Amino acid sequence: MASDNESEAELDENYYTFLNLPRDATSEQINTAYRKQSRIYHPDKHMEPENKKRAEIMFNRTKRAYEVLSDPHQRAIYDSVGEKGLKTEGWEIVHRTKTPAEIRDEYQRLAEAAEDRRLQQRTNPRGNITINVNATEIFTPYDESEMPRVEIGSMSIAQSIEAPITRKDMIIMSGNLYSSNGTGSGGFMVAGRRLLNKGWVELCVGAGNGFLLGLKGGRTLSSKLTLNGGTNMNFQENGVIPAVFSSLAVQLDKHTVGSLTLNAGPQSSLTTQIDHSNDNHAISTSFVIGTPHIYFNISYTRKMMENELKLKLATKVGTFGFMGEYGVEKKVSKYSSVIAAVSIGVPSGVILKFKILRSNQSYVFPIHLSDEIVPAAVFYATVTPVIAWFLIKKSIMDPMEAERKSMEVERTKRQNEQRLTAKKLEALAAIHLMQSTYNRILTEEQDRRGLVIKRAIYGCLSEDSPQFKAEASHDVTIPIQCLVRDGTLQLYESSKSDLPGFYDPSLGDDKFLSIEYTYNNVLKTVKVKDTESLRLPG
């Protein structure tokens, strides 16, 4: 079985380009393109066994492209997430009137479900490491004659793994360690979870600060209502400490969820929370009544998806004092993000937080710069992450990204080597099958002094000259002439390598299409980039 990364490197079929259609093609245009291409590649039009075999391959590709683009449901899936969406299990249950945005969301859900199924074959580790750094002496030194000390104030580590037993049963093992000022504590817990018809139930036992026995569960009450709750008993030397907790979540609208959470135990609280999120922003508000504090919290996140960036503002006000926070989250790879935030408050002072997210693992580094709100601490807390980001990006990340892209191209080439070879042979076979169509169209255009393709080359240019590389280009005169219709050639904004009779001569490199043609017996030459649209005569 190929790995996930390998599967992502597979080349997608471009059905629009194969039929030479725009992305917004009408049903009539799709039918016309299908009929035109079928006349060239239908096996019944070729008598020789070898040609018939070649025609069957091209006709099956033509028919597959037509089946997808002529079916509104399949076309919507293909337009939203590509060919891989058509291969994803579960689309048969998706309503056929969903919008493209809803289809992308549904594909993401199905892809995550497929990933969950793969995770059933192995453990699913989750973890968090937090290292609190005390650097307050930098801005408020205890002794001016000594170098300021920077020390680790505390550290905590939490880790859990899931071990599926059956499709409905799972064992979850988790542990945590905490160390501060030379003293430490820790705990270990084992839980068994069973999935029910509309919910789940979990029994857990643990040890650490006494023996712990707990029972949890959840149930979906309706399409908009979910209830979770549970209880645990902590057996300690001085007695048994009970705790009860429950949470009710309500889907208020498509983008908004409200919840009410109750915790009754050593630290009791009642929390009301509303979360609203869409493609551009997210807003979260919560009000907590509990011990030892009562507070109100609100946060706003601006999502800048085109830059894979999120900007966040948050504030918390209550009986403990107040706190304001601003920060940024940057996605650095498919599974990794870095977060930098500055927290300013009373009595917490100024704290600079760094967080690294890698899949289900998180590494958090809060750096306490000042016990009070010192302007210098605020300034350096704000500027330091920006400078550090640009230095790391220029010296480490950009070179790594360039190397990664190079490796990705090489990996894609290796994985698709057989497919690229097959595409080349298929292109040559298609050109052979086009010969009679080419002769007919060429004669018609010559007779009317229309669009006659003298020579067309597709491929990569030499670095030091405008000439094409012989080893990375090929002649596409016949395929281009066959695309001429009534004295007009129309190519759309997509890679020309997916056109019939074309193949990619150098995967990952920039390619061009050069056409030398006559129209009204006037000789002209045009050269366009691979994905650039073209209309002749222009």
Q: Please, which residues have CB within 8 angstroms of residue 377's CB and are 6 or more apart in sequence?
A: 138, 139, 349, 350, 369, 370
pLDDT band (50, 70, 90) for residue 491: very high
* Residue 323 sits in the same domain as residue 191: yes
pLDDT of 419-451, one tens digit each? 778 888 889 999 999 999 999 999 999 999 999
* Residue 422 sits in the same domain as residue 386: no
Residue 259 resides in a domain: no
* Residue 421 sits in the same domain as residue 502: yes
Torsion on CA atoms 485, 487, 493, 495, rounded to nearest 10: 70
* Residue 391 sits in the same domain as residue 484: no
- pLDDT at position 63: 93
Is the pLDDT reported for residue 94 higher than 50? no
- pLDDT at position 228: 96
Count structural domains, the chain: 2
Last residue in a domain, options 404, 427, 443: 404
Distances (CA, A) of 308 to 301, 358, 405: 13, 15, 18
pLDDT band (50, 70, 90) for residue 2: very low
Q: Which of 192, 203, 200, 247 is closest to 225 using CA atoms?
A: 247
pLDDT of 277-307, one tens digit each? 998 999 999 999 998 899 999 999 999 988 8
> Is 243 within 8 Å of 231 (Cβ atoms)?
yes
139-143, 472-476, 491-495: segment of lowest average pLDDT: 139-143
> Is 162 within 8 Å of 172 (Cβ atoms)?
yes
Task: Report residue 206 as tokens.
Answer: 């643990």
Last residue in a domain, options 351, 370, 404: 404
* Residue 449 sits in the same domain as residue 474: yes
Q: Which of 277, 280, 342, 336 is closest to 306 using CA atoms?
A: 280
Residues paired with 268 in a beta bridge:
none
Residue 181 resides in a domain: yes
Residue 205 resides in a domain: yes
> Is 12 within 8 Å of 83 (Cβ atoms)?
yes
pLDDT of 150-173, one tens digit each? 899 899 999 999 888 888 899 999
Question: Mean of the per-residue pLDDT values for the chain?
Answer: 87
69-73, 378-382, 415-419: segment of lowest average pLDDT: 415-419
Q: Which of 317, 315, 323 is closest to 298 using CA atoms?
A: 315
Last residue in a domain, options 343, 378, 404: 404
Q: Is 316 helix (H, G, I), strand (E, B) or coil?
A: strand
Residue 98 resides in a domain: no
Radius of gyration of the chain (CA): 32
Helix (H) / strand (E) element for 244: namely strand 239-253
Strand 239-253 with 256-264, pairing: antiparallel
Q: What is the DSSP letter of 499?
A: S
* Residue 429 sits in the same domain as residue 399: no
For the domain that residue 22 is a member of, what is the CATH number? 1.10.287.110
* Residue 192 sits in the same domain as residue 336: yes
Residue 290 resides in a domain: no
Q: Which domain holds residue 489?
A: 4-70+417-536
Task: Report residue 220 as tokens.
Answer: 């979906």
Residues paired with 310 in a beta bridge:
303, 329
Is the pLDDT reported for residue 352 higher than 90? yes
* Residue 348 sits in the same domain as residue 230: yes
pLDDT band (50, 70, 90) for residue 401: confident
Residue 382 resides in a domain: yes
* Residue 65 sits in the same domain as residue 146: no
Q: Which of 177, 245, 249, 257 is closest to 217 using CA atoms?
A: 245
pTM assigned to the model: 0.60
* Residue 218 sits in the same domain as residue 137: yes
Residue 86 resides in a domain: no
Is the pLDDT reported for residue 327 higher than 90? yes
pLDDT of 206-257, one tens digit each? 998 889 999 999 999 998 999 999 999 999 888 899 999 999 999 999 899 9
pLDDT band (50, 70, 90) for residue 415: low
* Residue 192 sits in the same domain as residue 315: yes
Other C-beta atoms closer than 10 Å to the C-beta of 290 total 15
* Residue 219 sits in the same domain as residue 321: yes
Residue 228 resides in a domain: yes
- pLDDT at position 105: 61
d(CA 9, CA 468): 27
> Is 75 within 8 Å of 56 (Cβ atoms)?
no
Q: Which of 271, 276, 300 is closest to 286 using CA atoms?
A: 271
